[in-house]
Structure 1
Amino acid sequence: MTTVSDLLRDWMPHQRWFGSKGREWADVQESGFFLDRGTPTLSVHRVRVTYTDGQSDTYLVPLSWRDHMVEELSSAFIGAVPHEGREAYAYDAMRDREATVPWLTHLVNASTVGPMHFHPAGGAYIPEGLPGDIVSGEQSNTSLIYGQEAILKLFRRLEPGLNPDVEIHDALRRTDNEHIAPLLGHIEIDDADPANPPATVAMLQTFVPNASDGWRLATASVRDLYAEGDLHADEVGGDFAADSERLGAATASVHADMAKVLPTEPADEDWYGTVAGQMTERLTAAIEVVPPLAEHADGLRALYAAVAESREPVVRQRVHGDLHLGQVLRTATGWIVLDFEGEPARPLAARRQLDSPLRDVAGMLRSFDYAARHMLVEQPDDPQRAYRAQEWATRNRAAYCSGYSAASGLDPCAESPLLRAFEADKAVYECVYEARNRPHWLMIPLNSLSRLTGRE
């Protein structure tokens, strides 16, 4: 007899949000409850996957159930199980528009349904009754857009504790910062172990309509530059530097408000050594995966050693943790910063630790390099394009730092050993990612390491 566990074992490994593709499953345990018994019926399932190496992950999977096949939902079909002498047909509930309405209804009513608790933000308007449309292209999470008013992000992998995205947005509500999309509510689920705190299931934010993704805007500017063979970056109609400067100011504004409403503390001497040690450990592990990194190892270890000896003043605070051009939106009035959950692959406790704001600055500087150089992958031996890519990256990195400095009074790009090391550490991470997922892109972070270690 086919069970829900059987269906999910076959279906989950092929979903974009499933983070352990290729790992062998040893066991799967599923527990579910009904969130809405209308038509379609909506159930929510916690799926604990144990791998053959003994590690495990818990995922959240909402399912919608029908008593007949629905042709227009064929791409969302998961499978059928016997039920009361008939077949019950399971669909991915996040792709079944009729099954998306109850999420907001329960938020409006501050419901508790089984182990799940709905928490609307005080005074927030939640557009009850609207169906949600899925956002394509996401990886670790799944989002639904409700009209032009709200966006619900479902956190697929569950960990006990409040997700930093909810925590930081909730804190920033008190600042009225213009560079975030306000929090409208969040949803939690009790952990299977009552000794653990609930896990964050989802968050609802104000939707930002008519906004442009930062990565797409930046790469369009690079294409404009490449198309104009005899013009410099500051002469091209699609010059991005003014936007980069405003983005730097927006980043500084968000950092300042995070420091106002969340904990801060000065870095002590031990912190510098700890950061340098962690970077060195990551480098050693990365060389095992990407042997070409070895030629940069001495230069990188020298950068990290400079951090261990550094005493540049650092006030540690909560940071974004995964800032890049894909995490920002440009609207008619300015920049919006999204997704404060940090790197989803890192444990939640690590993502909530206090850090230097330079970590975020380094992430954005790496993103400018990627935007400039991603088209070189097609023509790696074109020195003219390489020169122009570097010119674009240098101009926009400088503009971003100028905007940050003007808004904060601090120049993040002044000869800082810490910033240079953060950039290098991020590029090492990128080398591992590219080697595993896009080997033909590996040249991008490797070339950046040549610059960062002084080899070019």
Structure 2
Amino acid sequence: MTVNGTSAHALPPYLNEWVARQRWFASKGTVPVLQSIGEWSLPTSVPGVRIRTSLVYDSSAPSEGAGPERTLYQLPLTERTSPLPGAESALINSGTIGSGTIGSGTLDPGTPDAGTGYVYDAPHDPAYTEALLGLMLRGEVSPVADDRQADAAGQCEPGATAHSVTGSRVLRGEQSNTSIIYDLTDAAGLPAAPVICKVFRALHAGENPDVAVQTALARGGSDLVPQPIGNISGHWIDIDDERVSGHLAFAQEFLPGVEDAWRTALTAAEAGTDFSAQARSLGAATAKVHFDLARVMPSLAVTPEISAATITGMRQRYRAAVREVPQLAEHAASVDRIFDRAQTAEWPALQRIHGDYHLGQVLNVPGRGWALVDFEGEPLKPLSERVRPDVALRDVAGMLRSFAYAASTIAMDYADHDPAAIAHWASECRTAFLEGYAAASGQDLLARGALLDAFELDKAVYETVYETRNRPAWLPIPLAAVRALCAAAGPVS
């Protein structure tokens, strides 16, 4: 069996059904037919346990999804000869070894012991979590898993210490990855700072921007990001039969007991508490991270061709959105006016940015201030776009939209709140954030107004499509933003 020319091995039906229920599975509402194109394994000293990670494609995807952008998933599993106590919710399947239930496809536990076998979602299994972090901290290479054409190697950041794992748990609520929180002790047996390790579920050839960007910032001396601990990268044969590499997992400093800026802002908005000081400091922190990114990673001068292509992309996204959100059509002339102004404006140099910036991507750390996280970029975009230098104002626009969403959430949830007061709260946050960014960056954002308007409009148009597909009751939020931006653009002659 092949997937675009690559040798593939069928996975058992129970795995197809399990994957269909996972939040990180992209094709919601369908049951995949998974084909493993490679495996890598982890050593463990735990008796009766085998750890293997399959790299899988969904061969049932529609023909238009069968090209290079088809999603490659990472599926870490543990196979046990006896059940894991307290892990019932992580149990994927059980059956008699050798009967074809556990041992079908690529999941033969390979043990001579007869009896019942148990397959678990590995991030919930301490045998896997300890082996995963150990591979990273020791900088070792995984042993070969049969002939499955994949391997993995750990890399430890300078200064990171090999602590002992005393406990681990999976962070709940994530959509696109699986994060494991580790409790550790140092060489003396004393509690050490905890670590969080993100296991990437969707894999891409090339450097994952979350790893590359955050590591570059930390190595450059930034204290506005969690400190990286290490990462695991791997090699596999892609659907074009080429050997490629990419990141599989990333460990970093865990900041326990903190709230993200989204929750902090919601609490303030609900209480009607002024949030402008926090918004101003967040603007300054954002500008500092942008400055550091321009310092530690390559930048690119803007040419007329680049600016024209960027605006053309915005126009195309708007036209595509109109087909799903017909209410956008009435703003066509004003939308063109905003994009025309942006294309003729003065553009700053392109640089690496966050790429998916909003209040949920910032942590409010007591005694430390803001910390920016999750530099993976917009998950729906191809990796080639997410690693490309961009205009820093795209991040600014994303945060402005996030303040509007925080206010709108309160307005929707609390009918007794004064809409005018909530709108004023959002306006104050917006102004303060821009003031903080301008003061820290030295940029005159008023002079960048035409460009910022275009990026904010582009973001709001994207939101209309997202809400139409996922939360139709929320559609009025981005539609109001489109309407306001178009009204501010002035009458169309």
TM-score, normalising length: structure 2: 0.84
1:422–1:308 distance in 2 versus 1, CA, 3 Å? same
Residue aligning to 1:103: 132
Q: Which residue of 358, 371, 375 corresponds with 2:410?
A: 375
Residue aligning to 1:341: 376
- Quick one: distance in 1 between partners of 2:34 and 2:53? 20
Question: 1:58: Cα distance to partner?
Answer: 1.0
Question: 1:325: Cα distance to partner?
Answer: 0.2
Residue aligning to 1:21: 28
1:184–1:329 distance in 2 versus 1, CA, 3 Å? same
Residue aligning to 1:289: 324
Q: Which residue of 198, 212, 235 corresponds with 1:190?
A: 235
Output one character per residue of 1:278-330: Cα deviation in whole Å (capped at 9) or x when no partner.
001111111112222222232222211222222x1311111110010000001
1:273–1:297 distance in 2 versus 1, CA, 3 Å? same
- Quick one: distance in 2 between partners of 1:135 and 1:27? 25
- Quick one: distance in 1 between partners of 2:33 and 2:97? 27
- Quick one: distance in 2 between partners of 1:99 and 1:197? 25
**What's the secondary structure of 1:112's corresponding residue?**
coil
* Maintained 8 Å contact 2:11/2:35: no
Q: CA RMSD in A?
A: 2.1
* Maintained 8 Å contact 1:141/1:153: yes
1:321–1:168 distance in 2 versus 1, CA, 3 Å? same
Residue aligning to 2:18: 11
1:141–1:27 distance in 2 versus 1, CA, 3 Å? closer
Question: 1:6: Cα distance to partner?
Answer: 1.9
TM-score, normalising length: structure 1: 0.91
- Say whether 1:47 aligns with 2:56: yes
Q: Which residue of 117, 127, 141 corresponds with 1:112?
A: 141
- Quick one: distance in 1 between partners of 2:353 and 2:118? 44
- Say whether 1:325 aligns with 2:359: yes
Question: 1:12: Cα distance to partner?
Answer: 0.6
- Quick one: distance in 2 between partners of 1:102 and 1:27? 25
* One-letter identity of the residue aligned with 2:51: L
- Quick one: distance in 2 between partners of 1:291 and 1:25? 32
* One-letter identity of the residue aligned with 2:200: F
Residue aligning to 1:244: 279
Residue aligning to 1:391: 424
Q: Which moved more, 1:171-180 or 1:350-359?
A: 171-180
Residue aligning to 1:416: 449
* One-letter identity of the residue aligned with 2:63: D
- Say whether 1:316 aligns with 2:361: no
Greater fraction of residues in helix: 1
Residue aligning to 1:155: 200
Q: Which residue of 223, 234, 258 corresponds with 2:293?
A: 258
* One-letter identity of the residue aligned with 2:343: A
Gaps in structure 1 of 5+ consecutive residues: 226-237
Residue aligning to 1:206: 253
Q: Which residue of 217, 234, 238 corresponds with 1:172?
A: 217
Residue aligning to 1:131: 167
Output one character per residue of 1:153-178: Cα deviation in whole Å (capped at 9) or x when no partner.
11110110010111112211232111
Residue aligning to 1:68: 82
Number of corresponding residues? 439
* Maintained 8 Å contact 1:76/1:91: yes
**What's the secondary structure of 1:363's corresponding residue?**
helix
Question: 1:35: Cα distance to partner?
Answer: 1.1
Output one character per residue of 1:18-72: Cα deviation in whole Å (capped at 9) or x when no partner.
1221356466335434313443432211111130325232100111222233452
Q: Which moved more, 1:269-278 or 1:91-100?
A: 91-100
Q: Which residue of 420, 435, 444 corresponds with 1:402?
A: 435
Q: Which moved more, 1:151-160 or 1:29-38?
A: 29-38
